[in-house]
Structure 1
C-alpha cells in the first residue's frame, strides 16, 4: 500500500512539472518524448489514489455500524480541510509573489474571498470557481466519495452486509458503464466511483467468500466496460484493485526501507497539496535568472522535486499532524452534539 501511494504521488508531481512552467517548455526541446509521456500518462496515477482511498475507507467502516453519518462525514471534513486551507493560502502567497514574472494561463488569478470560501467548502468546481492549486479538485472529490460511502453504509446497515456489497458493486458498474464516460460529470463523485468502488470492493473481498465473488464479478463486468469503451484511467484502476485483492501478505518486520516508505506514504497528502507552490517559485526563479539550457532546466527540476518531497515530510510532521490533533480536540463538542 505504501509503495503504491509513494510511486503514484511522485508520478503526479512529475506530471505537474511537465505541465506547468518555463522549465517544462525548455526540457521539451531536448526530451520531447519523455515530457509528452509525463504529461499524458503520469497523471493517471490519480486512479491509484482513488482505488487506495476506497480501500482504506472501506476498511475503516468494515463491520462497524454507522449510527451517526454526519459525525463521520464531519470528521472527514475536518481531517482534510484545515491543512488544505493552509496550503492554499501559502500557494496564493507564492502566486502573488511570482505574478510579475510569470505570464501564463496556468497561473491562478488573484483569489477572491468567495473563491477561497468555495474552496474551503470543497465546492469550487461545482460552483464554477477557478482552482487555486492543481490538487484542489482531488480533495473535493475524495470528500464526496467518502460521504457517499458513509451514506450508503448508514442507509443499508439494517440490511445484510451482502446487500451493501451488491449495491456498491451496482453503483461501481453504473459508473464504469455510463457515468465515467461523461466528462461533464467529472466534478461529481459518481464519475470517479468506478475506481473508488473497486477499491471498496477489494477491501471487502477479504471479508467473506460472497464479497470475493462480488468483487470478481464486478471486475469481469468492468472488463466488458473497457471493451465497450476503453479508458486507460479505468484500466489502471482495475489493475490496482485486482492487485490489492491477490497481493501476497508482506512481512510484518519493519526494515529501514519500510520505515522510509511509510513516512513518504503518510506525507503524500501534504506533497500533493504543496508541490504546486514550489513549481510556481522555481518558475519565477527561472524567468528571473534567464537560464535557457535544457540540462539546467532538468537539474533544477530534479532539485525542485527533492525539495517538494522534503517539504512534504517536514510539513506533514510539523504542521499537518499538529493541526489535525488540535482541530480534533476542538471539534469534540461539535461531534458530541451531532451524536445526540
Structure 2
C-alpha cells in the first residue's frame, strides 16, 4: 500500500473492495447480499469479470444490451456503503451512476412483495450522549446525568436532514418498476437510513435499553413522507451529493438512486419468505438494468475501454 489516505496495492487494487481501473463500469447496481448479486448477474447478457475481496465485497462486471454494467455486493450498513462508494470512485474515470437495490421495512402502506423507490433519504443515529454511563454504584441506564446536555442529549435518536436522490434516474426506475409490477405495488417516499437494524429502526426488545418505543411515530412527525427504514441509502445519496470525482470532472460526479423490496411490514409485524424475495429480484432486475443503461447508453466520456475487462466485448 502506497498511501495511508488512499491505500492501494502495487497492482492498483483498493484495500477493501479490491478492484482496480478497468474492472468496474460507470454504471453500477449495489446490493447487500452476494446471492442477490449473483441472481441479478443472471440477467446480464455476458459476465466478463468477478472478484470477491477479503473484506466481503463481491464485484461482477458484464454486458447488458451492449453496455458495461457492474453489480457489487457490499454487505450491510453505512460503513460498507462508504467503503464501496469511495473506493469505486478511486478506480472509475468519468461520471458514475449508482443504483442501490436493497431491502427495507415498510412504515407506509407498502406490504411485503411491494417496492419502495426512494425520493430522498435521511439518517437515523443512536445518540450515545442520551444513554450515557450510569452513575457509579447504580445498575442500568440513568439519564439524569445528561439533563444539562441540551436538547440533543435528551433525544435518544438523532434524525438528520434528507438528501434527495437523482430525480431523473429515480423516476425512470419507478416508471419501469410500475410497468413490471403494476402501479399498486410501487411506492415512493423518503427512506430512513438507520445505523442499526434494531434500536435505530424502532425494534423493541427487553435485552437492551433502547428508548425507541416512540421512534417511528417521531419519524412520521418530522418526516411526513417517510416510507421505509433500511441502512445504506442516506450514505449513498450523501456521498453522491458531496462527490467531486477525478480531476477535471464537474461535481457532483456521482448520480444515485435507490429501489427497495419490502421485506418487513412493520405495522403488521410480518417478514418475507425466501421464495417471495427471489420472485421480486427476478421481477425487478430488468426494470432496474434498463433504467441504468438508458440513462447513459454510450461510453462517451466514460471510463476508457482500452485495457478494461469490457474492451473486447465493445469491440466485437
TM range (shorter): under 0.3
More helix by share: 1
More strand by share: 2
Higher relative contact order (CA 8 A, sep 6+): 1
If the length of structure 2 is used for normalisation, what is the TM-score?
Answer: 0.28
